[in-house]
């Protein structure tokens, strides 16, 4: 097995939150690929242990707040594939379409119109799919 976290407890906690927020159908294929690929395993281990285990399991901010923050951060960084995943995660975490809209509009003010247009376009795709999947 290629996945070898430095903190197995943190990794397992992170994996549980990651699946809860993004869905097992999104997470499991990434983990399965990583189990047989040391190159991919490195980043999947880091993402699960440090990001999801280290940040998302901290209870200072709730998951809904973290989701809205992520939408702004991902807009600023121009990371649209991740924005799509986190738009679905925001729905899972109880964000309304109106809250997602306002988070993206707020990010647009600070990140610029091109970034905002791209974010809205990609979030729309994610919301359309979430609607088809019965999430909203």
Interatomic CA distance for residues 101 and 71, integer angstroms: 10
* Per-residue pLDDT reduced to its tens digit, 90-107: 999 999 999 999 999 999
Going by the DSSP 8-state scheme, the letter that residue 61 receives in this structure is: S
Q: Is the pLDDT of residue 5 over 90?
A: no
Question: Which carries the bigger pLDDT value, residue 2 or residue 54?
Answer: 54
pLDDT at residue 53 in the model: 97
Expressed in angstroms, the distance from the first to the final Cα of the chain is 37
Q: What is the pTM of this model?
A: 0.90
State mean pLDDT over 30-40: 92
In percent, the amount of the chain with pLDDT more than 70 equals 99
Query: What H or E segment, with its residue span, contains residue 31?
Result: helix 24-35
Phi-psi region at 134: left, alpha or beta (left = phi > 0; alpha = psi -120 to 50):
left
pLDDT at residue 1 in the model: 59
Average pLDDT, the chain: 96
Question: Is 10 within 8 Å of 47 (Cβ atoms)?
Answer: no
Q: Which fold has domain 63-132?
A: AhpD-like (1.20.1290)
Question: Is 76 within 8 Å of 103 (Cβ atoms)?
Answer: no
Question: Is 19 within 8 Å of 29 (Cβ atoms)?
Answer: no
Q: Which residues contact 96 (CB under 8 A, 6 or more apart)?
A: none
* Domain ranges (residues) in the chain: 8-55, 63-132
Q: Which residues contact 94 (CB under 8 A, 6 or more apart)?
A: 63, 64
Question: Which carries the bigger pLDDT value, residue 1 or residue 72?
Answer: 72
pLDDT at residue 2 in the model: 80
pLDDT at residue 99 in the model: 98
């Amino acid at each position: 097995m290629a996945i070898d976290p430095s903190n197995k407890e943190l990794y397992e906690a992170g994996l549980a939150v990651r699946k809860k927020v993004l869905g097992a159908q999104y997470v499991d294929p990434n983990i399965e690929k990583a189990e047989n690929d040391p190159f991919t395993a490195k980043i999947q281990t880091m993402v699960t242990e440090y990001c999801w285990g280290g940040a998302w399991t901290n209870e200072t901010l709730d998951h809904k707040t973290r989701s809205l923050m992520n939408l702004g951060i991902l807009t600023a960084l121009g990371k649209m594939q991740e924005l799509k995943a986190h738009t679905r995660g925001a729905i899972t975490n109880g964000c309304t379409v109106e809250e997602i809209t306002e988070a993206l509009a707020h990010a647009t003010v600070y990140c610029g119109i091109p970034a905002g247009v791209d974010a809205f376009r990609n979030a729309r795709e994610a919301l359309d799919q979430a609607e088809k999947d019965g999430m909203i």
